[in-house]
Amino acid sequence: MPFDALDQESDEMLLVAFGQGDRAAAQELTRRLTPKVLGYATRMLNDRAEAEDVTQDAMLRLWKVSDQWRTGEAKVTTWLYRVVTNLCTDRLRKKRMVDIDAIQEPEDGALSVEMSMVEQERQAALQAALQELPERQRQAVVLRHIEGVANPEIATIMDISIEAVESLTARGKRALAAILAGKREELGYENE
């Protein structure tokens, strides 16, 4: 596949091309998909090193299924988010078993860009508030409102009904609002 044509191709076509040995297709997929996977894993795990491990693991699994990929059955991103969701759930479960009281400081290294101090504090508060949500609510809120995934796709990723996704995201947002409401003054919302 010509290199300059790669950015026009769908994720699925690139994956099939890689399955047939096209290494340039893998480079383009890495460029497209790694930020999504790392962003989601970081939101879920709140641990940069673990999120990077999960990202590498999920991408490796994608490479390995490439030669058996059945076109038209699932979006590549849906498959990938599902794998990441499962990998994060496994890690969170192990972490709970190791030390149930360990609460980490919000870690936002992978997400940092140039922002005002106030905005950075607010984003750190959002990340901390997300960690207080039950895991399934956190998955649904992050996928819907930060990753921008549609509800039917989230339903496939989480293996639940669309109604259950709507319920989880609504409850998750209410809980987030309640957590952040207690920090309005601290985050400078009182003056807005």
Positions touching another protein (CB under 8 A) are: 18-19, 21, 23, 26-27, 30-31, 34-36, 38-39, 42, 52, 55-56, 59-60, 63-64, 66-67, 110-113, 115, 119, 122-123, 126, 141, 145-148, 173, 176-177, 180-181, 184, 189, 192
Judged by beta carbon, residue 161 or residue 170, the one nearer another protein is 170
Judged by DSSP in three states, 185 sits in coil
Judged by beta carbon, residue 31 or residue 96, the one nearer another protein is 31
- CB of 113 vs another protein, minimal distance in Å: 6
Q: What would the two tokens of residue 136 be?
A: 């399934």
- CB of 100 vs another protein, minimal distance in Å: 27
Judged by beta carbon, residue 96 or residue 184, the one nearer another protein is 184
- Give the Cα separation of 160 and 79 in Å (integer): 15
- CB of 96 vs another protein, minimal distance in Å: 25
Cα of 120 vs its chain's centroid, Å: 19
- Cβ proximity of 111 and 39 under 8 Å: yes
- CB of 146 vs another protein, minimal distance in Å: 5
CA-based nearest residue to 90, from 64, 66, 57, 124: 57
- Give the Cα separation of 46 and 131 in Å (integer): 8
Judged by beta carbon, residue 158 or residue 176, the one nearer another protein is 176
Judged by beta carbon, residue 26 or residue 155, the one nearer another protein is 26
Judged by DSSP in three states, 59 sits in helix
- CB of 97 vs another protein, minimal distance in Å: 27
Judged by beta carbon, residue 160 or residue 180, the one nearer another protein is 180
Torsion-angle region of 72 (φ positive above 0: left; ψ -120 to 50: alpha; else: beta): left
Tell me the backbone φ, ψ of residue 184, rounded to 5 degrees. -55, -50
- Give the Cα separation of 101 and 144 in Å (integer): 29
- CB of 27 vs another protein, minimal distance in Å: 6
